[in-house]
């Protein structure tokens, strides 16, 4: 099937992504990423695929006071949401495609990308762009989700929807967010992009917590492009799909507050 919709973060998705998915799975990793990047004392920082700005905001409070910060995203809707929230220091917000960055060679000391690389149609080409805009000795830091089986809420939701749509299961979560988890593939793509120093890859487990199963069901089904897949299969069926997902989560994790494992790879490599 076509995967063009996997990159479509439009309509209501950016707002729901920020209010529901960011606190559920992204915030803890954003703080960790900001600390790792700031430790290198970069003066010029570029963020690729900034989304609604969770890492941007973490970098703004963690980088040295004299560091400049440019945040980019392919999707205008996500970038508009990030700009409306703002940050604790001036940020240059710019719509840009990671496959063709509109910056000169060697423009930055660090390039950062949290949970965006999975969406790049050609990972090695995007990594090559990151390397191009890095100054010699600069740092490329990015994260990707580990396999879906190690990300429990996403896995349970995907399995529940597969039962509802058995002829054509919505596979967005497994296919794209959790589809680039092979460490050897990451290393190969970095080498193809021209990175010659060994990458440091940390596999980091966190916990995703919610007051009830309804919250992650709503966050994943309504606040990601999974919504596009559900509505394409069942127009007007989003509420029913969320109910199905919530019931499956409650059966697995309980009817009260729930707690599930999430896991990601954090990659640091020097240009």
Distances in Å between the Cα of 49 and the Cα atoms of 9, 80, 119, 229 are 12, 13, 9, 22
Domain that holds residue 49: 4-270
The answer to whether 60 and 89 have CB atoms below 8 angstroms apart is yes
C-alpha separations of 58 from 32, 34, 233, 249 in Å? 9, 6, 37, 30
Question: Beta strand 134-145 with 258-270: parallel, antiparallel or unpaired?
Answer: antiparallel
* C-alpha distances in Å from residue 200, one per residue of 74, 112, 136, 183: 27, 14, 18, 11
CATH code for position 78: 3.40.50.150
Residue 50: which of 32, 29, 70 has the closest Cα? Answer: 70
In the chain, helix, strand, coil percent, each to 5? Answer: 45, 20, 30
| Interatomic CA distance for residues 12 and 223, integer angstroms | 8
Sequential DSSP letters for 111-170: EEEES-GGG-SSHHHHHHHHHHHEEEEEEEEEEEE--GGGSHHHHHHHHHHHHHTTTS--
Angstrom distance (rounded) from CA 223 to CA 225: 7
Per-block average pLDDT, block size 10, for the chain (271 residues)? 52 85 96 98 98 97 98 95 96 97 98 97 98 98 98 98 96 97 98 98 98 97 93 96 98 97 98 96
User: Angle at which helices 183-192 and 123-133 pack, to 10 degrees?
Assistant: 50
**Token pair listed for 151:** 């990300």
Name the region of 86 (left: φ>0; alpha: ψ -120 to 50; beta: rest): left
Angstrom CA distances, 162 to 155, 156, 165, 214, 234, stand at 11, 10, 5, 18, 13
The confidence score (pLDDT) of residue 1 equals 43
Total number of domains constituting the chain: 1
Backbone angles phi, psi at 43, to 5 degrees: -95, -30
pLDDT at position 6 = 47
């Amino acid at each position: 099937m076509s995967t063009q919709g996997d990159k479509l973060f439009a309509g209501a998705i950016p707002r729901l992504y920020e209010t529901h998915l960011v606190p559920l799975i992204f915030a803890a990793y954003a703080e960790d990423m900001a600390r790792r990047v700031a430790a290198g004392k970069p003066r010029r920082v570029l963020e690729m695929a900034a989304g609604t700005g969770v890492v941007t905001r973490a970098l703004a409070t963690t980088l040295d006071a004299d560091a400049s910060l440019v945040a980019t995203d392919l999707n205008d809707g996500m970038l508009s949401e990030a700009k409306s929230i703002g940050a604790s220091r001036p940020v240059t917000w710019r719509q840009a495609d990671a496959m063709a960055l509109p910056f000169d060679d060697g423009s930055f000391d660090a390039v950062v990308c949290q949970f965006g690389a999975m969406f790049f149609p050609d990972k090695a080409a995007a990594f090559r762009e990151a390397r191009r805009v890095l100054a010699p000795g600069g740092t490329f830091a990015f994260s990707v989700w580990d396999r879906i089986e190690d990300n429990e809420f996403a896995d349970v939701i995907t399995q529940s929807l597969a039962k509802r749509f058995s002829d054509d299961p919505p596979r967005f979560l497994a296919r794209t967010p959790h589809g680039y988890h092979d460490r050897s593939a990451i290393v190969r793509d970095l080498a193809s992009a021209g990175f010659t120093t060994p990458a440091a890859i940390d596999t980091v487990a966190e916990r995703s917590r919610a007051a009830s199963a309804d919250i992650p069901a709503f966050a994943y089904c309504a606040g990601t492009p999974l919504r596009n897949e559900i509505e394409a299969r069942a127009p007007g069926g989003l509420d029913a799909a969320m109910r199905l997902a919530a019931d499956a989560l409650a059966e697995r994790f309980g009817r009260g507050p729930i707690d599930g494992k999430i896991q990601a790879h954090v990659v640091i490599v020097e240009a």
